């Protein structure tokens, strides 16, 4: 998979999304400024329909700014850690690995550096952040319960070594009747920024 593609749930998604939002903000700012300046010079007045158009264009530009500001505190996880987990799950069709998941909730955003879905169960890695491990687990449980998806209680690790050991164990044991992880992954992606 190309690294410059912005696909939710892949490593580097957050940093790539932040860069694209920053570029979009710059383009909007230039466009609005030109829409204000050029007609003012040509018509020798600011009172024209282009000024109104420029003012209206501030709304979509502001949306880009708000999205960028909501992503500002988050960064893609550690590349070395991601590569370790990716090497463990590579070629294992019964395991889905997701990265850079910023879950949006009413009580605030929570960041999962990595997420492994195995046989209907969700295992996450979320290094220390404002939200507690229990709050993240409760939110994941709530998402999965709303969709009536078969699962056990999600487990979130704050320590990478513990998460790596869990993934090693999961990768070594192929389930006899694997549960489809696609529905769970789709539901989680729909709740992400």
pLDDT digits (tens, 9 = 90+) for 15-31: 999 999 999 999 999 99
Portion of the chain with pLDDT greater than 70, in percent = 92
Q: Tokens 């590569």 belong to which residue?
A: 83
Tell me, what's the pLDDT at 176? 65
Q: Where is pLDDT greater, at 65 or 5? A: 65
Q: What angle do CA 135, 138, 142 make, to 5 degrees?
A: 140
β-strand 95-105 against 121-125: which pairing, if any? Answer: unpaired
Average pLDDT (142-160) is 78
* Selection from 39-43, 82-86, 115-119, 153-157 with the highest mean pLDDT: 82-86
Average pLDDT (158-186) is 82
| Mean pLDDT of the residues in the chain | 85
Q: Tokens 């979509």 belong to which residue?
A: 60
- What residue spans define the domains of the chain? 13-71, 79-190
Tell me, what's the pLDDT at 27? 96
pLDDT digits (tens, 9 = 90+) for 64-118: 999 999 888 888 888 999 999 999 999 888 888 999 888 887 777 888 899 998 8
Q: Tokens 């700012």 belong to which residue?
A: 29
If residue 95 lies in a helix (H) or strand (E), which one and from where to where? Answer: strand 95-105
Tell me, what's the pLDDT at 185? 80
Tell me, what's the pLDDT at 177? 64
- Flag whether pLDDT at 4 surpasses 60: no
Portion of the chain with pLDDT greater than 90, in percent = 33
The closest alpha carbon to 140, from 124, 118, 157, belongs to 124
Q: Which residues of 64-83 are buried (b: 16+ CB within 10 A; e: fewer)?
A: bbebbeebeebebbeeebbe
Ranking 67-71, 124-128, 130-134, 147-151 by mean pLDDT, the lowest is 147-151
Tell me, what's the pLDDT at 2? 45
Cα separation, 123 vs 114, in Å, equals 8
DSSP label at residue 116: E
């Amino acid at each position: 998979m190309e690294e410059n593609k912005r696909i939710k749930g892949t490593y580097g998604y957050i940093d790539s999304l932040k860069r694209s939002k920053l570029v979009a903000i710059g383009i909007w700012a230039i466009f609005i400024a030109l829409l204000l300046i050029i007609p003012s010079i040509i018509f020798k007045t600011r009172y024209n329909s282009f000024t109104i158009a420029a003012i209206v264009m501030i709304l979509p530009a502001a949306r880009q700014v708000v999205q960028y500001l909501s992503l500002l505190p988050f960064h893609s996880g550690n590349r070395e850690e991601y590569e370790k987990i990716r090497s463990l799950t590579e070629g294992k069709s019964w395991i889905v690995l997701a990265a850079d998941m910023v879950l949006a909730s009413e009580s605030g955003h929570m960041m999962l550096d990595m997420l492994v879905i195995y046989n209907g169960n969700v295992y996450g890695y979320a290094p220390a952040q404002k939200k507690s491990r229990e709050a993240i687990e409760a939110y994941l449980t709530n998402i999965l319960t709303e969709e009536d998806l078969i699962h056990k209680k999600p487990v979130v690790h704050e320590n990478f070594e513990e998460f790596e050991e869990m993934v090693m164990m999961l990768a070594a044991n192929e389930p006899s009747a694997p549960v489809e992880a696609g529905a769970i992954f789709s539901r989680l992606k729909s709740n992400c920024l």
